[in-house]
């Protein structure tokens, strides 16, 4: 197929990307195969970076000079589930109606992916002197780790970029900071016995309750510490327990109890502080109480996701560029986590800036307005002009 036949509008490209069911629990390889075929039709070099299981992959493409780092346009390909949601049309068939494009991932964040891919012919025609890289990842909605293996290659077999723009929906506001998101499960292993004789065993549920109470105290401390920058809502690090399960009956000391918890930390927070505080409580208080009548139990905490925060970097190459492209004069924060912190941790100046509103993400009848799609296209065209003259 000739390149002319492969020229797709952003809306055409969005329809194609939405048609792939890339819920995080499923493979994204059919979408990646399509993107590779599209890039090949335009003779755009790329690398595929598979996960360990081989059922998912990221892709990193470069338009322009191959011997230097440029500007990364970074998006994820996975989406959240639609199970149990009341959609008025097929979530995986783009529906355009009343100035909106509806579909799972339409705003979070296949619209940004579609804009970057649809712009490939224009990027090429601009004769870039600073390359534009398109990075599409996986598992952002679950662990945010699908971008990491590719980032590790930057500075090795891939050039280090000058800046990264992560295209999560911000209404094209330039975001320079967000909290971290770190999630855990803690399991208390006790020993079953009749509740009338608690000295014959150890209750996992009772010990879990103590641990949750300690997390509450830690959360209160974080609230009192607050946010010295005054930029976040809420203005403090949050600690939250989402689920708890354990025990078999009211009159049996519970054998096991598991709870899932998280903290969302300000960029200034030492990421080890909260888990270290809970671990000290485990060692100094909870384990001693659990095993006061014998060596009955143990406590284990497993880290599930560690999404680093994005710290402000005033005047960075990414901030200056994105503010100019978006026509803004100040930066903002967002309450949700993104892959941006991984880029920043690798020493790459990074901001978050993409079309559409996060308010429409993860909902039934998720949508992006056509107006925001057009605004995103104008953003991309300004980027092309900038990279052609830099």
Of 288, 307, 326, the residue that ends a domain is: 307
**Mind listing the pLDDT tens digit for each residue in 10-27?**
999 999 999 999 999 999
Please check whether residues 293 and 365 belong to one and the same domain: no
Q: Are strands 350-352 and 163-166 parallel, antiparallel or unpaired?
A: parallel
The catalytic residues are 78, 140
Please check whether residues 139 and 185 belong to one and the same domain: no
Of 255, 288, 307, the residue that ends a domain is: 307
pLDDT of residue 385: 98
Q: Answer whether residue 1 shows pLDDT above 90.
A: no
Please check whether residues 220 and 365 belong to one and the same domain: no
**Rounded mean pLDDT, 231-247:** 97
Quote the number of domains for the chain: 2
**Mind listing the pLDDT tens digit for each residue in 84-99?**
999 999 999 999 999 9
Please check whether residues 111 and 10 belong to one and the same domain: yes
Please check whether residues 226 and 354 belong to one and the same domain: no
Please check whether residues 302 and 315 belong to one and the same domain: no
The CATH number given to whatever domain includes residue 144 is 3.40.630.10
| Helix/strand number for the chain, H first, E second | 12, 15
Please check whether residues 62 and 158 belong to one and the same domain: yes
Please check whether residues 156 and 54 belong to one and the same domain: yes
Question: Exposure pattern of 239-270 as b/e (b: 16+ CB <10 Å)?
Answer: bebeeeebbeeeeebbbbbbbbbbbbbbbebe
pLDDT level of residue 5 (50, 70, 90 thresholds): low
102 CB-near residues (< 8 Å, 6+ apart): 89, 94, 95, 96, 365, 366, 367
Of 307, 328, 361, the residue that ends a domain is: 307
The CATH number given to whatever domain includes residue 242 is 3.30.70.360
Please check whether residues 171 and 219 belong to one and the same domain: no
Phi (first) and psi of residue 245, to 5 degrees: -150, 140
Q: Answer whether residue 268 shows pLDDT above 60.
A: yes
Please check whether residues 10 and 130 belong to one and the same domain: yes
Q: Answer whether residue 70 shows pLDDT above 70.
A: yes
For residue 271, give its domain range.
181-307
């Amino acid at each position: 197929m000739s390149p002319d036949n492969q020229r797709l509008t952003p809306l055409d490209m969005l329809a194609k990307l939405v048609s792939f069911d890339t819920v995080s629990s499923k493979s994204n390889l059919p979408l990646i195969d399509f993107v590779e075929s599209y890039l090949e039709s335009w003779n755009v070099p790329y690398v595929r970076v598979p996960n360990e299981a081989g059922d998912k992959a990221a892709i990193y493409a470069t338009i322009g000079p191959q011997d230097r780092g440029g500007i990364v346009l970074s998006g994820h390909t996975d989406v959240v589930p639609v199970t149990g949601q009341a959609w008025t049309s097929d979530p995986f068939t783009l529906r355009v109606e009343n100035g909106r494009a509806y579909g799972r991932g339409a705003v979070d964040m296949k619209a940004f992916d579609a804009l970057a891919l649809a712009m490939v012919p224009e990027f090429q025609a601009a004769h870039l002197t600073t390359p534009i890289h398109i990075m599409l990842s996986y598992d952002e909605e679950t662990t945010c780790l699908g971008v990491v293996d590719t980032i590790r290659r930057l500075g090795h077999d891939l050039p280090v970029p000058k800046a990264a723009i992560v295209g999560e929906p911000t209404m094209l506001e330039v975001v320079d900071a967000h909290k971290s998101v770190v999630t855990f499960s803690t399991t208390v292993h006790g020993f079953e016995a009749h509740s009338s004789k608690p000295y014959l065993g150890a209750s996992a549920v009772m010990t879990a309750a103590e641990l949750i109470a300690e997390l509450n105290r830690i959360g209160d401390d974080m609230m009192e510490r607050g946010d010295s920058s005054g930029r976040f809502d809420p203005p403090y690090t949050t600690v939250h327990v989402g689920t708890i399960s354990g025990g078999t009956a009211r009159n049996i000391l519970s054998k096991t109890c598991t709870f899932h918890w998280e903290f969302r930390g300000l960029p200034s927070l030492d990421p080890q502080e909260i888990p270290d505080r809970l671990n000290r409580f485990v060692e100094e208080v909870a384990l001693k109480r659990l095993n006061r009548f014998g060596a009955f139990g143990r406590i284990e905490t497993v880290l599930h996701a560690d999404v680093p925060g994005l710290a402000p970097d005033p005047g960075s190459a990414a901030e200056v560029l994105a503010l100019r492209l978006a026509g803004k004069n100040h930066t903002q924060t967002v309450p949700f986590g993104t892959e941006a912190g991984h880029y920043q941790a690798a020493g790459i100046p990074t901001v978050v800036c993409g079309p559409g509103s996060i308010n429409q993400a993860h909902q039934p009848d998720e949508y992006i307005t056509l107006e925001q799609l057009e605004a995103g296209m104008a953003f991309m065209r300004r980027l092309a002009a900038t990279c052609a003259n830099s």
